[in-house]
A and B are shown apart, each in its own frame.
Chain A
Amino acid sequence: MVTTLMNKFKCFFILSLSVWSLWGCNNESITSLSERSVIYCAEGSPETFNPQLVTSGTTIDATSNQLYNRLITYQGKDNTLTPALAKSWHVTRDGRKVTFYLRKDVPFHQTDYFTPTRLLNADDVIFSFNRMLKPEHPFHLVSGGNYPFFQDIALHLLVEEVEKINDYTIRFHLTHSDSSFLANLATDFAIILSAEYAQQLTQQKMKASIDTHPVGTGPFKLKEYRVGSLIRFYRNDEYWQEPTKIEQLVFDITPSNTGRLTKLLAKECDITAYPIAHEKIIQHNDLTLEAVTALNVGYFGFNVNKPPFDNKLVRQAISYAINKKVLLEAVYQGKAELANSLLPNTSWAFDKSIPEQEFNPVLAKSLLEVAGFPQGFTMDLWAMPVQRPYNPNAITMAKLIQTDLKNIGIKVKIVSYEWNTFLHRLKLGEHQSFLLGWSADHPDPDNFFSPMLSCSATHTGSNTTFWCNQEYDDIIQQALQTTNIGLRKKYYSQAMNIISKEVPLIPIAHSKRYQARGNNVTGDVLAPFGGISFYQVAKNNSLNANNKTQNDGEN
């Protein structure tokens, strides 16, 4: 009996020893694997892998700067335009001809599904732009034929032709001069696709793959995508600039705010998007909280096609009934600026003379009576399910608005869907009112006015108020046709005054964009506008080791 027991004990001992050694070696190799990789906890799934097709920040974050490049890009603190795929460019004096000279050493991604045989040339650029501009282009209608950003700014009316001068030179012919044209070409949406890949897909009759299995020129290439779960990128070893320091980049899609923070605290992700509980992160010595002043606005919009919001008085009444200061305090923890109109004060077209919205429930109530709703009414309020820089917690904001509006007799029902469904249904116009926002894609103020509220944007689905005002449209068009800053500023002031009077939406706040990371991850990720970029990210392993010993000490 005793001997058998001893034997059993021995077995157990050996077994546990082997398990232990397994663990030991495991830790070692994981570190080597994790030293070469970065996990980013993202807040949502991308809708597609082609930024041309969307305006949603989540998709831009996952695609633009990781997979693709543009002809030109922004650089530095003052956001000067700098060469990217185009090594230089030239604009004629009348501003109607813009010529780009391309780099000759840019390869496309080699992936499981495509092997390029040639480098980037003019055909790729022309393909990328004509796909959006020409309705008869074979790829125009693939994935729905919606190119919201460029349709909002009416690029097809601006660009007459994209001409190929030679293999590495292309020229844009414009119908009129446009002061924001170059700025728009430097946005995250003006990416360059591979014409050769498109050709291959046409032969294989799999055109739709161009947007789901992307091929670009960017620092990373797509390895794997599991819907709602993860995106895996590999380093593009043939990148035309210096390759990235990390070999693998994984987007861990974690819509839950608490989930992202938990993963950050448990060291399951290196960088996390839109962290909550900032105090908690600051308390941790091995975590860093970063913020960047972003050009954005969070707002409360109305679907003016749906009663009772087709009535201007109702919209005004609601704007008087909402206590924005409380929203700022409770939702943004006082860390945002109160928005009086679309533009934040960092924009050069910001106008101080636009008055602050008054909080006046009595006036609101009387306006409601004039509008014919003395008893109030019931409305739906759609609140975003995810954190965005312009609105860190739309559900809480909705609850506060619910209380505010109850005071003037309006009953609010809060509605929320999964992020992509939410956006999709908004585009269809199923909502009555909604909480959303806009993050600028480039520093030009037009990027607020055209995509958010112009008539053409009602068709593309980026203006989900469906408010269409001819006077407003004329003014923002005029503002584009001049390069005189003073004049443009005046036009934009007029436009903002119209918005204040008509109230298609109530601007609420301009906020910062936050991000948190472990101290061992270096390199900038955030930018003041547009999507994030992991190009410069690296892992500092000696720091990592230091942290480890620290942790051990604590244990």
Chain B
Amino acid sequence: MARDKIYLEEVFPSPFMQLWQIFRKTPVAMVGFSCFIFLIILAVFGPILAPHSPIEGQLDMLLLPPAWHVDGNVSYLLGTDELGRDMLSRLMYGTSLTFGLSFIVVVISLVIGVVIGSLSALTSGIKSSFLNHFLDVILSIPSLLLAIIIVAILGPGISNTVWAVVMVLIPQFIHITRYAVKEESKKDYVLASKLDGANPFRILYYSIFPNIVDRIMSQATLAQSAAILDIATLGFLGLGAQIPLPEWGAILANGLDLFYIAPWTVYLPGLAILFAVVATNLVGEGIRHALKLRKER
């Protein structure tokens, strides 16, 4: 920023930067954003930071309540479960499974969805109309139901859950990209570069993408919160992560039998899921709010 400018030039921030400038002036959105960053850091470094193993338990430390309880133990801050596994470590590992995987899932489906979506936006006619109908049918089925269907076909397991959720999210990205690209291509500046002789891919890459990236981001946060809930729900139903993986939903399901004697094994993973989803939704709300403000400017 300290670079000296020789010429006086008017700087137009890119649409994305404009958005960011509005976004960071919204305190609530920034709180959500920092929580989101915190979760990402935890997802990456959680396995290194975790004080104990998430799978092997201390058998003399069964069902220890959290540290603030009278019977608690400071080295097991959030208590232990029925096999003496540290809840804090399990939740930290769980961050990389539930939150980290959902993030990866969103990235994968975003890339695939945007590619297919923008390609299909360039086509028209029968193919396009068929795709339209097909997307309508798929989008009318709720994502969780679709994920359950796909897991039923592939069989239970964490990797199958990931594929199922990826497949569920792709149509949403296709739909939004396609719609945004079509809308954007009608605008004059696209026409201008078309007249300049740019080929469609160049237009897509240099002219259209910078202008729709915020909308895709907004969709990505929606997809992320859906992905977290879907992965956790499948884990809870025993269709996702299998024993002994510390996925949040699976930890919660595991805690069910202990609900009445060790309620923290149910409360904590539930709170973790809620925290992750709320953080994601706050970011999403922030983006949408900023989008609206930018439009109004």
B259 interface residue per 8 A CB criterion: yes
Among the stretches A209-217, A232-240, A396-404, the one at the interface with B is A396-404
| Distance of B152 from chain A, by nearest CB (Å) | 16
Q: A329-B59, A330-B59, A414-B243 are in contact. Are A399 and B83 (CB under 8 A)?
A: yes
In the complex, per-residue mask of B80-112: 1 if CB is within 8 Å of any chain A CB, else 0: 001110000000000000000000000000000
Q: Does A552 count as interface, using CB distance less than 8 angstroms?
A: no
Q: Is the CB of B59 within 8 A of A258?
A: no
A120 to B260, CA, bound (A): 49
B260 with A280: CB separation less than 8 A: yes
Residues of A within 8 A of B2 (CB): none
Say yes or no: B62 contacts A280, CB within 8 Å.
no
Given contacts A330-B83, A396-B82, A402-B244, contact A277 B56 (CB under 8 A): no
Contact of A330 among B55, B82, B243, B258 (CB under 8 A): B82
The reply to whether the CB of B70 lies closer than 8 angstroms to some CB of chain A is no
Residue of chain B at shortest CB distance from A281 = B260
> Are A400 and B261 neighbours in the complex by a CB distance under 8 Å?
no
The reply to whether the CB of A393 lies closer than 8 angstroms to some CB of chain B is: yes
Which residues of the partner chain B approach A143 to less than 8 Å between Cβ atoms?
A: none
B192 within 8 A of A: no
A277 contacts B59, CB within 8 Å? no
When the two chains form their complex, are residues A330 and B260 in contact, meaning their CB atoms are under 8 A apart? no
- Measured between beta carbons, the chain B residues less than 8 angstroms from A403 are 55-57
- Chain B residues contacting A265 (CB-CB under 8 Å) are 260
List of A residues within 8 angstroms of B57 by Cβ = 403
Question: Does chain B have a CB within 8 A of A261?
Answer: yes
From the candidates A329, A393, A399, name the one contacting B243 in the complex (CB within 8 A). A399
Interface string of B217-256 (1 = CB under 8 A from A): 0000000000000000000000000111000000000001
B259–A330 contact, CB under 8 A? Answer: no
- Which residues of B sit under 8 angstroms from A402, Cβ to Cβ? 244
B183 in contact (CB, < 8 A): no
Complex: A256 Cα to B82 Cα, angstroms: 17
- Report the bound CA distance from A277 to B260 in whole Å: 7
Which chain A residues lie closer than 8 Å to B244 at the CB level? 399, 402
- Assuming A326-B59, A402-B244, is B257 touching A258 (CB within 8 A)? yes
Which residue in chain B gives the minimum CB-CB distance to A403?
B56
Q: Which residues of B approach A to under 8 Å, CB–CB? A: 55-57, 59, 62, 82-84, 242-244, 256-261
Instruction: Determine if B257 and A257 form an interchain contact, defined as CB atoms under 8 angstroms apart.
Output: yes
Interface string of A267-294 (1 = CB under 8 A from B): 0000000001101100000000000000
Verify if A162 is at the interface (C-beta below 8 Å from B).
no
CA distance A400 to B82 in the complex (A): 11
When distances are taken between beta carbons in the complex, the residues of chain A under 8 Å from B256 are 256, 258
20 new A-B pairs (CB below 8 Å) besides A276-B261, A399-B83, A399-B243?
A: A258-B257, A258-B260, A276-B257, A277-B258, A277-B260, A279-B261, A280-B260, A280-B261, A329-B59, A330-B59, A330-B62, A330-B82, A395-B243, A396-B82, A399-B244, A400-B83, A402-B244, A403-B55, A403-B56, A414-B243
Chain A contact-residue range equals 20 to 34
List the 4 shortest-distance A-B pairs measured between CB atoms, nearest first.
Answer: A277-B260, A280-B260, A277-B261, A258-B256
Contacts of B55 in A (CB 8 A): 403
Chain A, Cβ-Cβ closest to B55? A403
A393 to B257, CA, bound (A): 10
In Å, the complex CA distance between A103 and B255 comes to 54
Chain A residues with Cβ under 8 A from B56's Cβ?
Answer: 403
- Selected contact of A258 from candidates B62, B82, B84, B259, CB within 8 Å: B259
Q: How far is the CB of A71 from chain B (nearest CB, A)?
A: 42
* Bound Cα distance A414, B82 (Å): 17
- What is the distance, in angstroms, from A283's C-beta to the closest C-beta of chain B? 10
Distance of A402 Cα from B260 Cα, bound (Å): 26
Question: Smallest Cβ distance from A261 to chain B, in angstroms?
Answer: 6
Cβ contacts under 8 Å, B260 to chain A:
258, 261, 265, 276-277, 280
- Residue-by-residue, is A480-496 near B (CB-CB < 8 Å gives 1, otherwise 0)? 00000000000000000
Query: Which of A256, A257, A396 sits near B83, CB closer than 8 Å?
Result: A396
The complex places the Cα of A265 from the Cα of B258 at a distance, in Å, of: 15
Which residues in A have their C-beta under 8 angstroms from that of B259?
Answer: 258, 277
Complex: chain B residue closest to A329, CB-CB? B59
CB distance from A285 to the nearest CB of B (A): 16
Q: Which of A258, A265, A402 has the most CB of B within 10 A?
A: A258
Q: How far is the CB of A397 from chain B (nearest CB, A)?
A: 10
A405 CA / B56 CA spacing, docked (Å):
12
Please report the C-alpha to C-alpha distance between residue A330 and residue B257 in the assembled complex, in whole angstroms. 14
Q: How far is the CB of B291 from chain A (nearest CB, A)?
A: 44
Contacts of A326 in B (CB 8 A): 59
The CA-CA distance from A403 to B56 in the complex, in Å, is 7
Chain A residues near B242 (CB-CB < 8 A): 414
CA A257 to CA B255, docked complex, whole Å = 12
What are 13 residue pairs bridging A and B, where the CB atoms are less than 8 Å apart in the complex? A258-B260, A276-B260, A277-B259, A277-B260, A280-B261, A330-B62, A330-B83, A395-B243, A399-B83, A399-B243, A399-B244, A402-B244, A414-B242
B283 to chain A, nearest CB (A): 35
In the assembled complex, which residues on chain A have CB atoms less than 8 Å from the CB atom of B243? 395, 399, 414
Q: How far apart are the CA atoms of A509 and B260 in the complex, in Å?
A: 25
CA distance A492 to B284 in the complex (A): 72
Smallest distance from the beta carbon of A445 to chain B beta carbons, Å?
Answer: 33
